[in-house]
Amino acid sequence: MSAKWRNLIVILADQLDNQHPALEAADTAKDGVLMIETAAEATHVPSHKHRIALCLSAMRHFAEELRSSGWSVDYLELGEGHASLADGLKHAVDRRDPEALWWVQPGEWRVQADLSSMAEQLERPVQQFEDTHFYVSNDEFADWAKGRKQLTMEYFYRQQRARFDILMDGGEPAGGQWNYDQDNRKSFPKSGPGELPAIPSFEPDAITKAVIDAVQERFPDHPGTLDDFSWPVTREQALTALETFVEERLPNYGRYQDAMWQGEPFLFHALIASSLNLKLLNPREAVDAAVDAWRQDPDRFPLSAVEGFVRQIVGWREFIRGVYWLKMPDYAELNHFDHQTELPSWFWTGETDMNCLRQTISDTLENGYAHHIQRLMIIGNFATLAELRPVEVCDWFLAVYVDAFEWVELPNTLGMALHGDGGIVGSKPYVASGAYINRMSNYCGECQFKPSKRTGDDACPFNALYWSFLMKHRDALGRSPRMRMVLKNLDRWDNEELNAIQARAAKIHGALS
């Protein structure tokens, strides 16, 4: 019989927080930690091998760190006889006979529901701690949202900037503006981005190598390969990743945050989302590092870049989490446009003639990563225009990205990328024609389709899909002032052109169904 614990603290894969609230309240002499690897978490969507390896390696490293700080840790590895979180928890409760179960609020509604029902079955009281990793608690977000007809991220963001005194000069935003988006939409010159800073790469140690072997053996058919796995798996590595980003890529982060370039999957992006979402990094240290860099050297670290980065973390990330907990569980079922086309099988291979999608999906499958504008304006844009079923698109996004956890993936995909929530997250759909992709990337130069053509077999499929989407939803889209100018284009074309666009769109939809 193992030693009895007073409180059994469950730590989930995405709670690897060095300021874990339950650990801060616990006593190493009396309480113990339970960490469980389960195949179910890797297979409820067919997770990318990098995503599984990252979670498991980061968990095992965290458990080691806890042990060296004096914690008693029960760690159940894959294949140790438990099929699920419930099995693992029951086994641990039998072994440790705790008086109470403690955990921090899980990041996923499904896991929270599972844990609560397990606790009931095990007849143990539960203490659920607020996840203090975030700037804004769920209750605070609910208070902010109360009575608002539209949840506008910009207003939420401004309030948090002022509340936490981030990039503020007295009561005013630093530089006199809240938003520098107009400086942050540059494309690369024809010669491309030039020589890019190297991306930090973290050599697998013995723990990571053992995880890689286990993932290869147990999930051989999952997307991706682990030949060049190099994501940060410890807090120390995550801090190095943050430092390298700030020093080497932050100066250009804002300017080129919407730009894309074939063969360059990382560009000037931060690559810290997986570390933040596993809680290896605290958002406050990421924000402070960027703001400090600007305060010390504003010529090298422009305010537009730093504000763009702060907006992603203090604005979008917190807002998205608030929406998730405010709207779940019904949110996951929303399908505003009633899109019902099955996810094409080439989402799992990248084998499509559309070069922008081929490149973006191939980057994704190779690295478990694509940057935000590839996700939003290539994949999400196509999925909306092609009328793909949102639940399948969301599951795909959750499966293939190393930084995807449901609280962040779902509102970003369903709400922002697909407008499937009917406007809870964004006031209008993020859709664009081939002209936008051509302006922001060099993908079209290598494509068999022509971005300048709307109709004909060699016309860019995004074009006919885009204009037919606008025709179909003209009344609703016309309510957005930002869409009215675009919709005016439809009045300039005669019926023959409009019919040809619709025929081309119908052919593309037909080929997808």
Q: Which residues bind ligand SF4 (CB under 6 A)?
A: 354-356, 434, 437-438, 443-444, 447, 449, 451, 460-462
For residue 418 the two structure tokens come to 């697909």
Q: Residue 228: helix, strand or coil by DSSP?
A: coil
Residue nearer to ligand SF4 on the CB measure, 174 or 386: 386
Q: How far is CA 117 from CA 81, 113, 377, 405, 501, in A?
A: 21, 6, 40, 21, 53
Q: How far is the CB of 339 from ligand SF4 (least distance, A)?
A: 20
Residue nearer to ligand SF4 on the CB measure, 127 or 448: 448
Residue nearer to ligand SF4 on the CB measure, 158 or 450: 450
Q: How far is the CB of 374 from ligand SF4 (least distance, A)?
A: 12
Per-residue HEC secondary structure of 131-172 comes to CCCCCCCHHHHHHHHCCCCCCCHHHHHHHHHHHCCCCEECCE
Q: Which of 306, 281, 284, 310 is nearest to 296 (CA)?
A: 306
Helices (H) then strands (E): counts for the chain? 24, 7
Radius of gyration of the chain measured on its C-alpha atoms: 24
Looking at the chain, how many residues does it have? Answer: 513
Residue nearer to ligand SF4 on the CB measure, 232 or 434: 434
Please, what is the Cα angle at 310 between 306 and 313, to 5 degrees?
145
Q: How far is the CB of 254 from ligand SF4 (least distance, A)?
A: 24
Segments in 336-414 forming alpha helices (H): 355-367, 372-373, 381-385, 390-400, 406-410
Residue nearer to ligand SF4 on the CB measure, 98 or 461: 461
Q: Is 369 exposed, middle or buried (0-12, 13-18, 19+ CB in 10 A)?
A: buried
Q: How far is the CB of 271 from ligand SF4 (least distance, A)?
A: 25
Q: How far is the CB of 501 from ligand SF4 (least distance, A)?
A: 15
Q: How far is the CB of 447 from ligand SF4 (least distance, A)?
A: 3
Characterise 224 by phi-psi region: left (phi > 0), alpha (psi -120 to 50), beta (else): left
Q: Which H or E element spans position 76?
A: strand 72-76
Contact indicator for 466, 386 with CB cutoff of 8 Å: no
Q: How far is the CB of 460 from ligand SF4 (least distance, A)?
A: 3
Q: Which of 25, 238, 282 is nearest to 132 (CA)?
A: 282
Rounded CA-CA distance 388/513 in Å is: 10
Q: How far is the CB of 403 from ligand SF4 (least distance, A)?
A: 25
Q: Which amino acid is at 155?
A: Y
Residue nearer to ligand SF4 on the CB measure, 59 or 447: 447
Q: How far is the CB of 110 from ligand SF4 (least distance, A)?
A: 35
Residue nearer to ligand SF4 on the CB measure, 104 or 447: 447
Q: How far is the CB of 195 from ligand SF4 (least distance, A)?
A: 25
Residue nearer to ligand SF4 on the CB measure, 415 or 461: 461
Residue nearer to ligand SF4 on the CB measure, 36 or 465: 465
Neighbours of 187 (CB within 10 A): 17
Phi, psi of 508 (to 5 degrees): -65, -45
Residue 302 half-sphere exposure toward CB, CA atoms < 13 A: 15
Q: Which H or E element spans position 216?
A: helix 206-218
Contact indicator for 295, 169 with CB cutoff of 8 Å: no
Q: How far is the CB of 462 from ligand SF4 (least distance, A)?
A: 5
Residue nearer to ligand SF4 on the CB measure, 133 or 358: 358
Residue nearer to ligand SF4 on the CB measure, 270 or 361: 361
Structure-token match 């608030």, residue found: 322
Rounded CA-CA distance 190/486 in Å is: 27
